Structure 1
Amino acid sequence: MSENFLPYGRHWIDEDDIAAVAECLRGDWLTTGPAVEVFEAAFAEVVGARYAVVVSNGTVALHLAALAAHVGAGDIGIAPTMSFLASANGMHYTGAEIVFADADPRTGLITPATFQAAIEQAAKPVKMAVVVHLNGNAVNMPEIARIAAEHNIILVEDACHALGTTYRDGGGAVVKVGASRHSAMTVFSLHPVKTITMGEGGVITTSDPLLYERLKLLRSHGMLKASEKFLNKDLAFAHTGEANPWYYEMQELGFNYRASDFACVLAHSQLRKLSTFAERRAQLKDIYDLQFGDIGDLVEPLRIEASIEPVLHLYPLLIDFAAIGKERASVMSELREHGIGTQVHYIPIHRQPYYVEQSGAFDLPGADAYYAKALSIPYYPLMTDLDAERVARTIKRVLGING
């Protein structure tokens, strides 16, 4: 195997990131300290939201979003099948039944038509829907939001791939993914292979003050410290009428989904470099678009609408393995021997045995078609132009394609 191995994704940690974390470790707070709120404020400003709540990972963020929306047993939630498991699991943890929405076979995205079809397939009114900005490409949020409003569906954007992505709404205005312009909440992941990282981490953004307070409450065991809301007056207050300084109350079940200060310090340091990361990702995208954009239908780059300015997390190719006459597994193995790491994003969730048992079989041909062709190739800011050109050249050679 080549010594210069290029994985499909990789974090970029600089000495300034390390120095920031080291300074935090030498300080007074390792968790539940001031760095958490500082990062939350910075993140909200970057994505154009009123509030941000940082949590321990992206899956937790999806779970908290469902809890904040009061989704529970007996409710129905819609999730796109073309995503990571967490997009469905977050709602299902609350007891909700999941109805899966199909995807556009060229982009993997949920569409207004597949969203409407999922609503019609549900046995009763849908409480909440998660829509995923897969790969960093944006869903048609204005139209999805219009349909959701018609059916009183709480809409949550899964933007775990899409930090930095913008799109134009129907009026031509630029909307930042994360501003929650067309949704109740937006969820991000800060896993190591994402655009920025905090090791493991997640963020929920919203502009709804009630959702914001509920998210913070549920993030930390449901512990309430606002004296005007205490229910147990005998325990809460001294004879003077003042609230006991140690007192807290749990009025509903919450979770320990907090993030540490040093993780937030790392994420804040990374956030300052978001524009640099985004610019480099765009440059690599341009190289791949040029290399794969005109070699025929056997290999196609990701299709992105002109109204979208993506910061891609992944760069998938759609490869017609059947027409080429090679199985995907053998192509991946051969590429690996040449030092090129690849991955498949994702196995459609509706194909997972657990959900087949829970919800029955779904016929979602768009997602199946996308899955059959998808292959994520190396794509991360530390790559050089020569790295990207080598990736493209090697893929063409392994597939037997001239171009």
Structure 2
Amino acid sequence: MEKLAINGGNPIRDTYLAYGKQSVNEDDIKAVVEVLKGDYLTTGPYIKEFEDAVAKYVGAKYAVAVSSGTAALHMACAAAGIESGDEVIVSSMTFAASANAVLYCGGTPVFADIDPLTYNIDPAKMEEKITSRTKAIIPVDFTGQSVDMDEIKRIADKHHLIIIEDAAHALGSEYKGRKVGSQADMVEFSFHPVKPITTAEGGVITTNNKALYEKMMTFRTHGITKARERLTENHGPWYHEQQSLGYNYRLTDIQSALGTSQMSKIDSFISKRREIVKLYNEAFKSVSEIITPYEADFSNSGWHIYVIKVNPELLTVTRKEIFQALQAENIGVNVHYLPVYWHPYYKELGYEKGICPNAETLYENMITLPLFPSMTKEDTEDVIGAVKKVINYYRK
């Protein structure tokens, strides 16, 4: 049996392979340099160009770009009118920002368990959590797989709830043949470097609702707007006024130019991700010690991340030892995510373990493998080889 690197053997790779990485080329660099040579660095014409590119791609009427995906979620919750006393149902398997955005507005996150197959929020479990105080739902397209939006919309309409879809993983993904981004009241995308495209940091909300769009446009600029109806009251064209409490959540023209350039390559990025996933699925289908991702018939994932689930009953060690052994082979595995309510801050708010058992079981056995567009065939083979090497060593 081949000796593991963690035990002094030779690693599969000489260099470390990260789990995710941005794909930036000369076109992207040129686009950023053009902005640096121009008149605007912060809020200028490139923001609208980027917003239009995203809205057109996902089939939405409007898009509002902001400084991060977290800012986008906060903005959406504010536009939805979330305030003290309101409850918002959130998927338990997500990054903390999905729930933090509710807290920023004074609301209370209520965590619903996930479907054990898709790892997305279970609509039935979600409906069980609805009370007279529930105002909105934040379903998460975990790993890039779309939630069952028709069923979620049916439940939301029945209870008169707003849907804020957290699609941070899902730019380029599809639901029943349509791009994710126009089915919910508001849809959030993230542009962190490991996401489908990047603006370094950044986020956007897409919507078909003009009233929500106008609220968000003001929210991202301190709540300040040009009040044209006041211009006759001894004010000139310089006049702006703060009409609500907003934030400085603006995206820069520099980032927007990068984002627009990246959008021109989004389909090729998604295609490459899907190719790698096919190779992973084929290579691991006969490895009974791990469970590969399930994809529902209604979803065509863009595969932001690829999560395997180890079967501890067939192994001599836990997920921790598997993870450490893969790291020693220079494979940059990760874990996404700790159930939100397990974080110490949420424990202090009164949340306890056990409320979402499917999410907790997934967390205890999941490992994220490297996946990004610039991965080579050799990179992919290294990941596959390392997983098989480690699993073979620890097989019962």
TM-score (norm 1): 0.92
Which residue, out of 239, 257, 270, partners 1:265? 257
User: Secondary structure in 1 aligned to 2:213?
Assistant: helix
Question: What is the rounded CA distance, in whole Å, between the counterparts of 1:326 and 1:23 in structure 2?
Answer: 53
Task: State whether structure 2 residue 273 is matched by structure 1 residue 281.
Answer: yes
Superposed CA deviations along residues 234-260 of structure 1, whole A, max 9, x for unmatched, are xx5455xxx412211112100000000
- One-letter amino acid of the structure 2 residue matched with residue 262 of structure 1: I
Residue 152 of structure 1: aligned partner: 160
Question: What is the rounded CA distance, in whole Å, between the counterparts of 1:346 and 1:107 in structure 2?
Answer: 15
- One-letter amino acid of the structure 2 residue matched with residue 9 of structure 1: G
Contact 1:132 1:158 in 2 (8 A): yes
Residue 72 of structure 2: aligned partner: 61
Which residue, out of 330, 340, 348, partners 2:321? 330
Residue 175 of structure 1: aligned partner: 178
Superposed CA deviations along residues 350-389 of structure 1, whole A, max 9, x for unmatched, are 2122222324325211111111121000111111122212
Matches within 5 A, 1:1-400: 2-119=13-130, 122=131, 124-168=132-176, 174-179=177-182, 181=183, 183-228=184-229, 230=230, 237=232, 239=234, 243-296=235-288, 298-361=289-352, 363-400=355-392
Question: What is the rounded CA distance, in whole Å, between the counterparts of 1:326 and 1:22 in structure 2?
Answer: 51
- One-letter amino acid of the structure 1 residue matched with residue 344 of structure 2: P
Question: What is the rounded CA distance, in whole Å, between the counterparts of 2:350 and 2:107 in structure 1?
Answer: 11
Superposed CA deviations along residues 149-192 of structure 1, whole A, max 9, x for unmatched, are 11111111000000001121xxxxx221011x2x2100000000
Moved more, 24-33 or 301-310: 301-310
Question: What is the rounded CA distance, in whole Å, between the counterparts of 1:293 and 1:261 in structure 2?
Answer: 45
Question: What is the rounded CA distance, in whole Å, between the counterparts of 1:47 and 1:294 in structure 2?
Answer: 36
Contact 2:326 2:332 in 1 (8 A): yes
Consecutive unaligned residues in structure 2, runs of 5 or more: 1-10
Contact 2:71 2:249 in 1 (8 A): yes
User: Secondary structure in 2 aligned to 1:135?
Assistant: helix
How far off its partner does 1:87 sit?
0.5
Question: What is the rounded CA distance, in whole Å, between the counterparts of 2:364 and 2:117 in structure 1?
Answer: 11
User: Secondary structure in 2 aligned to 1:290?
Assistant: helix
Superposed CA deviations along residues 320-379 of structure 1, whole A, max 9, x for unmatched, are 235312232222222122110111000001212222232432521111111112100011
How far off its partner does 1:307 sit?
2.2
User: Secondary structure in 2 aligned to 1:65?
Assistant: helix
Contact 1:99 1:359 in 2 (8 A): no
Consecutive unaligned residues in structure 1, runs of 5 or more: 169-173, 231-235
Contact 2:144 2:304 in 1 (8 A): yes
Cα 1:107–1:372 change in 2 (3 A) is farther
How far off its partner does 1:11 sit?
0.6
Superposed CA deviations along residues 110-160 of structure 1, whole A, max 9, x for unmatched, are 0211211222xx4x3301110000000111000011001111111110000
- One-letter amino acid of the structure 1 residue matched with residue 383 of structure 2: V
- One-letter amino acid of the structure 1 residue matched with residue 318 of structure 2: E
- Percent identical among aligned pairs is 40
Question: What is the rounded CA distance, in whole Å, between the counterparts of 1:225 and 1:162 in structure 2?
Answer: 34
Cα 1:357–1:237 change in 2 (3 A) is same
Aligned pair count?
382
- One-letter amino acid of the structure 2 residue matched with residue 125 of structure 1: R
TM-score (norm 2): 0.93
Superposed CA deviations along residues 19-68 of structure 1, whole A, max 9, x for unmatched, are 11011101100011000001111110001100000000000000000000
Residue 233 of structure 1: aligned partner: none
- Runs of at least 4 residues off by over 6 Å: none
Superposed CA deviations along residues 259-293 of structure 1, whole A, max 9, x for unmatched, are 00010000100000001101101110110010112
Question: What is the rounded CA distance, in whole Å, between the counterparts of 1:360 and 1:280 in structure 2?
Answer: 40
- One-letter amino acid of the structure 1 residue matched with residue 185 of structure 2: A
How far off its partner does 1:104 sit?
1.6
Question: What is the rounded CA distance, in whole Å, between the counterparts of 2:298 and 2:161 in structure 1?
Answer: 25
